[in-house]
Amino acid sequence: MSSTDSRPTIVLIHGFWVTPRSWEHWIPYYEQKGYKVIAPAYPGFEAEVESLRADPSPIEHLEVPEIIAKLEGIIRELDQPPILMGHSAGGVMVQLLLDKGLGACGVAMNSAPTEGVVVVPLTQLKSTFPVLKNPANRNKAVGFTHEQWHYAFTNTFTDADSKAMYDRYHVPASGHVLFGSILANFIPGPQETYVDYHNESRPPLLFISGGSDNLMPPAVQRSNAAHYKGKTTLTEIKEFEGRAHLMPAEKGWHDVADYALAWAEKQVRS
């Protein structure tokens, strides 16, 4: 691209159990490449990690439509369609926004599944069991212990690095949204994470998968991508072997960032 002014903004969308702080390496990295970068917080996630751990009440009753409404408002204020990149639950938000025709293209990293994706590997069940084992958690903000976090997010990290990431990034997640996403496949009619898999006008979408991700394993990414049937849309998958769920902060994260950006730039040029 010939000038910084012609480049689309990059919007980085965080997942659950973390905040926009999880993009702290990516923001300056992309800015140094000449991009404007926005990493908005979900409603209630504007506080710092330490504050949300001390008082998770702003997270308890979060709903997906609230998140999408906030992100949509930000995107519609931009001069041109942005490059959307989302991690984990943020990958779902990317898919929902693209389905609305928002964004030049989207990258979903270790994405949670949209409605209709019923593949549930055993590692995913083990990762989410601490929340889903108690129906009362549906109305709470539920966090992980470090041991649970290590299995779900940082299983390829050393114990010391895993603990450092836990202290730096971990916050509770909305039980309401987590239960809603699980139950979506059992309730008739479109739910909060519904997308039109036959949408012929959906912008290009790339799934990036961590080969060792326990929380959202490659099988989930492959199934999610395979659901898209639009003949005139582009849906691709890239797997990084040996990577865990917390790819944005894992050693070698810049390899993922470079691949995601190169793919996105190609879609924007075309």
The pLDDT tens digits for 81-132 are 999 999 999 999 999 999 999 999 999 999 999 998 888 889 988 998 888 8
The answer to whether residue 134 scores a pLDDT higher than 50 is: yes
Quick one: CA torsion of 196, 201, 203, 205, rounded to 10 degrees?
Answer: 40
Q: What is the mean pLDDT of residues 189-215?
A: 92
Tokens of 241: 């072997």
Percent composition of the chain: helix, strand, coil (DSSP 3-state, to 5): 45, 10, 45
Residue position matching structure tokens 């492959």: 222
CB distance 191 to 184 below 8 Å: yes
Average of per-residue pLDDT values in the chain: 92
Task: Please report, for the chain, the start and end positions of each structural domain, with discontinuous segments joined by +.
Answer: 4-269
CB distance 180 to 192 below 8 Å: yes
CB distance 89 to 192 below 8 Å: no
The answer to whether residue 183 scores a pLDDT higher than 80 is: no
The answer to whether residue 142 scores a pLDDT higher than 70 is: yes
Q: What is the mean pLDDT of residues 7-33?
A: 97
Confidence of residue 192 (pLDDT cuts 50, 70, 90): confident
The answer to whether residue 249 scores a pLDDT higher than 50 is: yes
The answer to whether residue 155 scores a pLDDT higher than 90 is: yes
> DSSP string covering 130-187, please?
HHHT-GGGGGSEE---HHHHHHHT-TTS-HHHHHHHHHHH---EEHHHHHHHHHGGGS
Report the distance separating Cα 119 and Cα 90, nearest Å. Answer: 19
Task: Tell me which H or E stretch contains 93.
Answer: helix 89-99
- State the fold for domain 4-269: Rossmann fold (3.40.50)
Task: Determine the residue type at 264.
Answer: A
CA distances to 18, 19, 44, 68, 154 from 48, rounded to whole Å, are 10, 8, 10, 21, 21
Tell me, what's the pLDDT at 2?
43
Tell me, what's the pLDDT at 3?
46
Quick one: CA torsion of 141, 147, 152, 156, rounded to 10 degrees?
Answer: 150
